[in-house]
Structure 1
Amino acid sequence: MIVAVDVFRDRLQKLRKIRAAMLARAGRLNLSSNESASFVRKTVMVKLNRNLPTSGHAIIIDGVVKTEFATRDGVEVGAWDLKRRFPMLEVRIYDAAARADQKVSAS
């Protein structure tokens, strides 16, 4: 009886490791550093390098330059439309001539 319980426990532990590895590969499981295991493949995130424009204007969404515009009117319309459609985003307008950005409000 004790041997059967040990075999069952070992098989259950192996199945849990396999399931965790499959979920981690699919991107549905995040293990903290103290929970990481050798059977889970580790990936390195590479930061996207998007420099600020030297001329014109740009829309910055959550700290990342997304779209560049030649005119102030075009960037304002685009930024306000984005903020209206997605109010949870932090939308900013960057002016290359002034080297400054301005937060866009929803109203």
Structure 2
Amino acid sequence: MRTPTKKPVRATEEPEPKTPRADRPPSEGFVVVVDGHFKSEFETAEAAESAGHELKSTYPMLKIEIYDAATRVRTLLSSEA
């Protein structure tokens, strides 16, 4: 006869792990949006724009936007550096 295996029990005081979700916009900072998908988060708009321009120079066919979480506005990145 086999003994049943026990599942680990999570303590009620232990909070659920918080991981960022890719399908929800962040609440702070700036995000590079590539073809409608949130990709990299940055503290400043300049850092996000720099990363966006680097991507755009490598892959000019991509639609790249910078999302400002504070104002909830997406700005299309122009192809000029």
TM-score if structure 2 supplies the norm length?
A: 0.69
Match of 2:55 in 1: 82
TM superposition shift of 1:94: 0.2
Aligned-residue RMSD, C-alpha: 1.4
Equivalent position amino acid for 2:34 in 1: I
Match of 2:46 in 1: 73
Structure with the greater alpha carbon radius of gyration: 1
Identity %: 35
Match of 2:73 in 1: 100
| Residue correspondences, number | 60
Q: Deviations over 1:57-102 (max 9, x none)?
A: 0000000001110111110100111111101000000000111000
- Larger RCO (alpha carbons 8 Å, 6+ apart): 2
Q: Deviations over 1:26-75 (max 9, x none)?
A: xxxxxxxxxxxxxxxxxxxxxx9521110000000000001110111110
Higher strand proportion: 2
Gaps of 5+ in 2: 1-20
Q: Is the 8 A contact 2:22 2:38 kept in 1?
A: no
Runs of 4+ residues deviating >4 angstroms = none
Kindly report which structure 2 residues correspond to 1:3-82, keeping only aligned pairs within 5 A, or say none.
Answer: 49-82=22-55
Gaps of 5+ in 1: 1-47
TM-score if structure 1 supplies the norm length?
A: 0.53
- Alpha-carbon distance in structure 2 between the residues aligned to 1:88 and 1:62: 10
Higher helix proportion: 1
